[in-house]
Amino acid sequence: MPTPKFTQIKQFIVDKIRSGLWLENQRVPSENELAKQFAVSRMTARRALSELTDTGILTRSQGLGTFVASFKSQSSLLEIKNIAHEVKERNGNYSCTVQVLESINAVAPIAIALGVEVDSVVYRSVIIHNENDSPLQVEERFVNPLLAKDYLQQNFTALTPHEYLSTVAPLTQARHTVEAITPSSEMCQWLNLYNEEPCLQVIRRTWSVNGIVSFARLISPGSKYRLGGQLTFKNNNKAHNA
The CA-based angle 134-139-145, given to 5 degrees, is 145
Q: How far apart are CA 131 and CA 221, in angstroms?
A: 13
Looking at residue 79, its pLDDT comes to 59
> Do 207 and 101 belong to one domain?
yes
> Do 37 and 147 belong to one domain?
no
Tell me the pLDDT band of 191, cut-offs 50, 70 and 90: very high
Number of domains in the chain: 2
Q: Which comes out higher in pLDDT, residue 83 or 239?
A: 83
If DSSP codes are grouped into helix, strand and coil, which group holds residue 33?
A: helix
Q: Taking the chain, what is the end-to-end CA distance rounded to the nearest angstrom?
A: 44
Most confident among 23-37, 190-204, 217-231 (mean pLDDT): 23-37
> Do 22 and 113 belong to one domain?
no
Instruction: Give the mean pLDDT of 212-227.
Output: 84
Question: How does pLDDT run across 71-111, given as a tens digit for each residue?
Answer: 543 333 445 678 888 888 777 899 999 999 999 999 988 99
Are 191 and 199 contacting, i.e. CB atoms less than 8 angstroms apart? yes
Residue at 111: amino acid letter? A
Looking at residue 35, its pLDDT comes to 95
* CATH number, residue 62: 1.10.10.10
> Do 61 and 104 belong to one domain?
no
> Do 137 and 64 belong to one domain?
no
Q: Is residue 199 part of a domain?
A: yes
**pLDDT above 50: residue 224:** yes
Cα atoms in the Cβ-side hemisphere of radius 13 Å centred on 155: 3
**pLDDT above 80: residue 173:** yes
Q: What DSSP string runs through 164-188?
A: HHHHHS---EEEEEEEEEPPPHHHH
Name the residue range of residue 109's domain: 83-221
Question: How does pLDDT run across 116-154, given as a tens digit for each residue?
Answer: 888 999 999 999 999 889 999 999 999 999 999 999 999
CA distances from 214 to 62, 74, 204 (A): 30, 14, 8
> Do 20 and 52 belong to one domain?
yes
Looking at residue 168, its pLDDT comes to 94
Q: Is residue 235 part of a domain?
A: no
Task: Name the burial class of residue 38, with classes exposed (0-12), middle (13-18) and buried (19+) by CB atoms within 10 angstroms of its CB.
Answer: middle
In this prediction, what percent of the chain has a pLDDT beyond 70?
87
Looking at residue 74, its pLDDT comes to 35
Average pLDDT of the chain to the nearest whole number: 84
* CATH number, residue 128: 3.40.1410.10
Most confident among 13-27, 57-71, 148-162 (mean pLDDT): 148-162
Looking at residue 43, its pLDDT comes to 95
Residue at 169: amino acid letter? A
